[in-house]
Amino acid sequence: MSHRKLEPGRLVVASHNKGKIREINELLAPFGFDVVSAGDLDLPEPEETGTTFEANAELKARAAAEASGLPSLADDSGFCVAALGGDPGIYSARWAGPDKDFAMAMRNVEEKLQEKGAVSADQRRGSFVAVLALVWPDGHLEQFRGEVEGEVVWPPCGEKGFGYDPIFRPDGHERTFGEMTSEEKHGWSRTEPALSHRARAFQMFARACLEG
C-alpha cells in the first residue's frame, strides 16, 4: 500500500487535550513542522460520535482540516480493560466526567475490577490503544493504530504522564507509565521499537508519511 508523504510545513494537531498535544509535539519535534493545536486556532471540538478509535480519530482530523485548510493530525486513544469487556475504551475521557477527573476515573476502574473479583495479575490485563489519523485539506486520509499490553495496578503510582497512566504497567517493565519520563514512555527512536501506544502509532506514521 502506498502512502502520501507529508512535507514539512504547518500542521494542526487536532486536539484540545494538553497531555496529548504535548506528547504529539514531542514526537513531531525532529521532523521540522510548524505545529499548532486546534485550541490555538480556536477550532471547536467536534462531537465524538464514532464507535471505534478509527472513526473518532478520522472525525477529529477531518473537522480540523476542513476548518483550517491545513493538514491535520488527530489522535483517538483509550484504556481498555479485558475484565471489563474492553471498557472504558473509546469512552475513557467520558469516565473522567466534565471536569476531566482522572483520579475518579481510575477509582471507577478499580472498583469495577474489585466487583468482578479481579485480583490476580492475569485477571487484571489491560491495554492502551491509540489511532492517529492524518487528513489533508483535499480529504486524503492516512491512519495508524498502536497498542501496548500490560497490567492494571492499584494504587496509582507516579505523577508523570496523564489520564490512566498511573495504573498501567506495561509488560516487561517494573514501573507504570505514570512513573516514566516522556522519553521513557515513548521508548522510541528512529531505530528502536516504540513503547507507548501513541509512540507505536507515531512510529508507523513517521515511516509511512514522514520518512518515505
Q: Enumerate the active-site residues.
A: 76
Beta strand 10-13 with 141-152: parallel, antiparallel or unpaired?
A: unpaired
CA distance 24 to 108: 28
Q: Judge if the upstream peptide bond of residue 170 is cis by omega within 30 degrees of 0.
A: no
Contacts of 129 (CB under 8 A, 6+ apart): 53, 77, 78, 80, 89, 145, 146, 147, 197
CA distance 30 to 28: 6
The continuous run of DSSP H or E covering 135 comes out as: strand 125-135
Strand order in the sheet with 72-81: 34-37, 10-13, 72-81, 125-135, 141-152, 168-170
